[in-house]
């Protein structure tokens, strides 16, 4: 047995000794892993990968030789994304090209993201459980051969993006395309074991519907972790084009509290890849990526693209790197990379004190959201129909609710607050309305008792997509009624009386939100300890409105409260002379003194928070003082000299 163990030890030493000798970022950070939702170094330090994505190998101006990647690194990039197009190049994956790129990045100490660059189709679109032809043809050979190659080289710098932008080819709002997500989940059950066989603890990025914008699916119905790929580090992709997609940026910001996300493709242009470079909107995206999001997640990114295609999203204007003909987009990214780490996080202060005593039902004042403004206390996006004159990049938002428009509620801030009952504003709940994809909002409350609490929401009778998450202190805040953590964190808010898309906005009632994929889960909000907490609502779809929010108190906490009060018992001096002593209690109490034989030698009452002076002529000895009140029975030992 000792001989076998020795051989195993020698084998491990041999393998470690033959691991690839990296330089650069890979040498510093090692094998990447997830700690919670955060991408981290091998030692657990939060990190951010940032760099460029290549164009496809079929496009001659994508700059894909070793010296091109070296120039990319010299600009400050620690990541190169290798886009293996599936639809172009006669639908034949160029595996040798990807291997070369993997080798080049290894030699330079850069991380390498291998991207299976699917575009319009989704993996099960042809009605087959596991596609064998069409645009998804060859994925199994592609990942098997490349992961085997990575294993043979002892590489630890490769990340895998298994399906870029899987979609039904039509426009629409996020959360409409859950059938696409169902197909992606089926696909992952096939491709993830292939990668895990050779690269078992690699970071794998899963594409999401709506051109990688509907990350809602990732926490509404998460990828199931199978035994064959239990150690893979699963993340979810988000794509963003700053020129015309600011309306979706909040989805990324809100989802960061619930799932690990990776901006595997983004550009300063519009989503077509052209139409100029919007640096102001790009600044906003980078702010979110650098930690200013609901989850405080530092998010990695790859800019589109390291090419001179002649589009405004390209890094070069033509003529290549050697002539330093960087485009406006290219120069913007160079500036970001040269700044290095520039992280910042949400900072808020309470608008007013809101206290949940843990005993009585607590009604959250929805108008009392935290102070701090956009990207700190909330993320608000207003369409032109809600705030006339606003544009697609949200440069002229407003408070579209009645409280803002009619009553100038909280001037200078613009989350959309109104009234459930406009005719009785003084007694009406304040409600959140005009809710679009990706809006979120934060409140601070003082929680007196830790615990898991039931909750309800006040909903109208108008049907919408109504998908949202609840975060506590910037992290997923829900557990099951059995106290178990759950990865199913997205909730659906039903209509109050079974209404439909033509339902009434003026009819409201209390409802219990649920997960559409698993309605059997009974949810609770968890406050792990007493004290000040933030509670946030992340609205991941359009929403008919939130009229109020109630956290149900637990009457048992009243007993606990009384027990705590009962601990405020003081008896002094002790020992005492002749049985004279002082006594103070936290609750009104009956007091009895017993001698060693069990006979009661005194009985009386003491008022709460007052000191009673009790003078007894007692013989020397040990006596028991009983204090009886709502908190129960407490016995103190009294020594008489």
At CA 285, angle to CA 279 and CA 286, rounded to 5? 85
Q: Which two tokens stand for residue 364?
A: 């959250």
Centre a 10 Å sphere on the Cβ of residue 59 and count the other Cβ atoms it contains: 18
Burial class (CB in 10 A: 0-12, 13-18, 19+), 546: buried
Q: Residue 491 pairs with which residues in a beta bridge? A: 468
Alpha-helical runs (H) found in 510-602? 556-566
Place of tokens 């870029």: 164
Peptide bond into 266 cis (omega under 30): no
Q: At 43, phi and psi to the nearest 5?
A: -85, -5
d(CA 152, CA 252): 36
Parallel, antiparallel or unpaired: strands 50-54 and 79-85: parallel
Q: What DSSP string runs through 367-413? A: T-PPBS-BTTTEE----TTTSTT--TT-SS----SHHHHHH--STT-
Dihedral of the alpha carbons of 127, 131, 137, 139, in degrees to the nearest 10: 140
Catalytic residue from among 165, 311, 413, 439: 165
Report yes or no: 241 and 430 within 8 Å, Cβ to Cβ.
no
CA-to-CA separations, 449 to 360, 452, 526, 551, 559, in angstroms, rounded: 11, 10, 11, 13, 12
For the question of residue 165 being annotated catalytic, the response is yes
User: Is 353 one of the catalytic residues?
Assistant: no
Spatial neighbors of 440 by CB under 8 A, at least 6 apart, are 250, 253, 254, 294, 378, 379, 536, 537, 538, 539
**What six digits make up the tokens of 367?**
């108008």
* Candidate list 75, 265, 311, 413, residue with the active-site label: 265
Catalytic amino acids?
A: 165, 265
């Amino acid at each position: 047995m000792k001989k076998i163990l020795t051989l195993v030890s020698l084998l491990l030493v041999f393998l470690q000794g033959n691991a690839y000798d990296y330089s650069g970022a890979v040498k510093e950070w090692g094998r990447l892993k997830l700690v919670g939702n955060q991408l981290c170094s091998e030692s657990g330090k939060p990190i951010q990968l940032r760099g460029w994505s290549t164009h496809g190998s079929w496009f001659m101006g994508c700059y894909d030789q070793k010296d091109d990647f070296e120039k990319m690194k010299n600009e400050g990039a620690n990541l190169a994304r290798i886009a293996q197009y599936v639809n172009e190049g006669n639908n034949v994956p160029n595996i040798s090209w990807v291997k070369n790129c993997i080798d080049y990045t290894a030699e330079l100490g850069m991380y390498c993201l291998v991207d299976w660059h699917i575009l319009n189709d989704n993996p099960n679109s042809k009605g087959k459980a596991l596609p064998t032809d069409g645009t998804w043809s060859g994925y199994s050979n592609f990942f098997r051969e490349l992961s085997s190659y990575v294993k043979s080289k002892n590489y630890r710098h490769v990340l895998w993006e298994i399906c870029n932008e899987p979609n039904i080819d039509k426009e629409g709002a996020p959360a409409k395309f859950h059938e696409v997500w169902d197909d992606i989940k089926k696909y992952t059950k096939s491709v993830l074991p292939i990668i895990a066989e050779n690269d078992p603890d690699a970071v794998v990025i899963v594409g999401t519907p709506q051109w990688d914008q509907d990350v809602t699916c990732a926490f509404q119905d998460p990828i199931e972790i199978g035994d064959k790929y239990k150690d893979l580090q699963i993340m979810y992709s988000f794509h963003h084009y700053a020129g015309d997609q600011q309306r979706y940026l909040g989805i990324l910001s809100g989802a960061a509290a619930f799932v690990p996300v990776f901006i595997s493709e983004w550009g300063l242009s519009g989503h077509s890849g052209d139409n100029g470079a919007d640096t102001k909107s790009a600044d906003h995206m980078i702010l979110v990526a650098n930690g200013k999001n609901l989850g405080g997640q530092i998010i990695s990114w790859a800019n589109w693209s390291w090419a001179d295609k002649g589009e405004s999203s390209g890094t070069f204007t033509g003529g290549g790197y050697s002539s330093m003909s960087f485009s406006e987009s290219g120069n913007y990214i160079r500036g970001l990379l040269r700044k290095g780490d520039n992280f910042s996080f949400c900072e808020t202060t309470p608008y007013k004190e809101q206290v949940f005593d843990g005993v009585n039902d607590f009604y959250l004042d929805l108008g009392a959201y935290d102070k701090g403004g956009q990207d700190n206390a909330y993320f608000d996006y207003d369409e032109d129909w809600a705030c006339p004159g606003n544009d697609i990049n949200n440069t002229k938002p407003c408070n579209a609710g009645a409280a803002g428009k009619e009553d100038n509620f909280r001037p200078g801030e613009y989350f959309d607050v109104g009234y459930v009952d406009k005719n009785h504003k003084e007694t009406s709940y304040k409600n959140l309305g005009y809710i679009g994809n990706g809006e979120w909002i934060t409140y601070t409350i003082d929680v007196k008792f830790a615990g898991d609490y039931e909750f309800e929401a006040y909903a109208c009778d108008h049907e919408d997509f109504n998908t949202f998450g609840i975060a506590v202190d910037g992290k997923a805040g829900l557990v099951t009624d059995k106290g178990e953590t759950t990865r199913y964190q997205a909730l659906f808010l039903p209509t109050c009386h079974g209404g439909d898309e033509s339902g009434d906005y003026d009819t409201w009632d209390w409802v219990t939100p649920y997960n559409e994929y698993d309605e059997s889960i009974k949810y609770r909000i968890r406050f792990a300890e007493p004290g000040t907490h933030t509670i946030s609502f992340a609205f991941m779809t359009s929403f008919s409105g939130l009229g109020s929010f109630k956290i149900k108190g637990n009457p048992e906490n009243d007993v606990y409260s009384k027990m705590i009060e009962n601990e405020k018992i003081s008896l002094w001096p002790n020992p005492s002379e002749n049985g004279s002593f002082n006594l103070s209690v936290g609750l009104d109490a009956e007091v009895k003194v017993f001698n060693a034989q069990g006979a009661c030698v005194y009985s009386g009452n003491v008022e709460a928070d007052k000191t009673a002076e009790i003078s007894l002529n007692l013989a020397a000895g040990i006596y028991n003082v009983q204090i009886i009140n709502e908190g129960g029975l407490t016995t103190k030992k009294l020594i008489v000299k």
